[in-house]
Amino acid sequence: MMKWQPNDDRIDFIVTKTAVMRTSTKPHWRDVRQRLQGLGMSSEDAVLAEWQPEGQHFMFGLIASRDGRLFIFDATFDYDASGQPLAKGIGWIGRWRELAAEEAHLTAAGYPNTYAQAAIIARLVFEHEREG
């Protein structure tokens, strides 16, 4: 099995984006925090482990929790669900799904897939926060 480790720049990016997820007053981040609260967890127990653009107005995200749960979601920006314009940078959460534990696994080549990488990244961020 090959050992995979994110580089320091990626960890710094995730730490920064996680802070935004935990504190931003923008509606899409408030929605994410409310969804986490509805599942019985604080945003302090969650890391935004993946945040990637998929087009000009669409983002893909993965949240990993302290207890090992993974959530996948999509965010759409600048337009509401009916296609009406929103203020620039304002978005809403579309798909939201908790992943089954077996969806995070090693590939045939021995590398962690995207979901397993998210779990590894979250563990490193939680360690970083604990060390202060």
DSSP string, 47-66: EEEEEEE-STTEEEEEEEET
- pTM assigned to the model: 0.91
Q: How far apart are the first and last CA of the chain?
A: 31
**Contact present, 93 and 105 (Cβ < 8 Å):** no
Residue 1 lies in a domain: no
**Contact present, 49 and 121 (Cβ < 8 Å):** yes
Residue 90 lies in a domain: yes
Residue 3 lies in a domain: no
Residue 2 lies in a domain: no
Percent of the chain at pLDDT exceeding 70: 98
Instruction: Give the range of the structural domain holding residue 49, as residue numbers without chain letter.
Output: 8-131
Residue 34 lies in a domain: yes
For residue range 46-75, what is the model confidence (pLDDT) as tens digits? 999 999 988 888 999 999 999 999 999 999
Domain count, the chain: 1
* pLDDT computed for residue 1 by the predictor: 47
